[in-house]
Amino acid sequence: MVSTTLLAKSLDEKNDILTRFQDRVRERTARVGVVGMGYVGLPIALLFAKRGFGTTGFDIDPAKIESLRQGSSYIKHIPDSEIAQGVQAKQFLPTTDFTQLSAMDAVIICVPTPLDDHREPDLSFIRATAESISQHLRRGQLVVLESTTYPGTTEEVVLPILEKSGLRCPVSDYSAEANPEENANSDGTDFLLAFSPEREDPGNKNFKTYQVPKVIGGVNALSVLATRALYETAFEHTVLVSSSRAAEMTKLLENIYRSVNIALVNELKLLCLRMGLDIWEVIDAAKTKPFGYSAFYPGPGLGGHCIPIDPFYLTWKAREYEFPTRFIELAGEINASMPEHVVAATGEALNCRRQCLNNSRILVLGVSYKKDVDDLRESPSLAIMELLQSRGVRVDYHDPYFPHLGRMRHYNFQLDSVDLSPETLSQYNAVLIATDHSSIDYEFVVRHSRLVIDTRNATREITEYPGKIVHC
């Protein structure tokens, strides 16, 4: 990490861009703009508004902006009151008018970074946002990219687009070894640019947004110092690294670490099933070791925006260096195969009861990618439902967070969530637990169902109905 003492020594009056920016931040007169009012952007915008900054939330979706203006949340874990408070105090101003970007002192980019149909990075949202900012960029502004992407995106993609404005932000090394006090000057620097990876975990009740340390990497010393000045007003801890590329790689490492370890336990789960062992018992025993082990858990596949997608950003970039990322690709193969395993296990469980998968009725419990959140992004439940339908299954679902499943990026089910009642549950050949929401009474489900396929170990404590539950 970067020596903040050495960086701080580089400040002097000639750094007019940095000094003026820090003064506005300190006085809370700086205007903060956040582009993208989704699961990442909205919490960040509300956080800066709470800290006393006039904050503008930008989004291209008029429905989202209208909802925010009415003080209404479309994200379950963000209460209406939090939005209404910011709007009523005029600290949080949602808009679709991107011309207002010119009035911002700092612009934070929180837009999606999906994969395309060939599993290659789709940077179209980042590029479009950078183009919008470039049209309104002015001297002294700070631009921070938070969207997860491959190392080099900030310097290689965002910077050239912003410099179409005619303004410049020279890339320079500011590591301790490079004597940063000689580099932290405003010569030739018209605007500031940095990368600070989002670390949101929707639904996590143990860590609030401001409690998660903020990693910051700039394209030069001025940029990293300005970004730190802004973020340290909102977050408990900031962590400086030596470049935007290092910050981009930090985020990928975090998600690849999780992807590889989840793939490991998914593979071991399949082995344990063949060996007649309970993988959940094994994990519980292993995690009693107080050092050298972190518990990861198997499931029906990976969901959310981060773990199923982000590792492949590095895989794609690594090809430029002719470097095979075998761990990442193998982990991806294992995790992507889990929905197929769940469907095969369901068919086998029905066969053991002399029933056929084709033309059966199956109720899927939970469609969000993890428990207790209203987030469908890359949910394995959706892949399982599509696979079941392709095999002739009549599929229904229940999820308290999603009363209706309509058209999505890759799916179009047009189904309504069914209520859980004894009569409803008894109609299905099997009930498949894909997401273990806390609000569901699993004893009730097992009692009134013919067969339960449990992919999340939600029924572990239920022993009264032998033969009804299949763990897979």
**Rg over CA atoms, the chain:** 25
Report the distance separating Cα 208 and Cα 41, nearest Å. 14
Catalytic: which of 306, 352, 356, 472?
306
444 vs 432: CA distance, rounded Å:
14
What are the residues whose beta carbons fall under 8 Å from the beta carbon of 399, sequence distance 6 or more?
Answer: 365, 366, 367, 368, 417, 435, 437
Q: Alpha-carbon distance 103 to 180, whole Å? A: 31
Structure tokens at 207: 């860590």
Single-letter amino acid, residue 312: F
- Can you tell me the distance from the alpha carbon of 211 to that of 417, in angstroms, rounded to the nearest whole number? 35
Distances (CA, A) of 418 to 121, 399, 400, 423: 37, 8, 9, 11
**414 Rama class: left (phi>0) / alpha (psi -120 to 50) / beta:** left
Q: Is residue 306 annotated as a catalytic residue, yes or no?
A: yes
Whether the Cβ atoms of residue 112 and residue 83 lie closer than 8 Å to each other = no
Is the CB of residue 109 less than 8 Å from the CB of residue 145?
Answer: yes
Between CA 345 and CA 68 the distance in angstroms is 44
Nearest residue to 158 (alpha-carbon basis) of 123, 202, 112:
123
Catalytic residues: 306
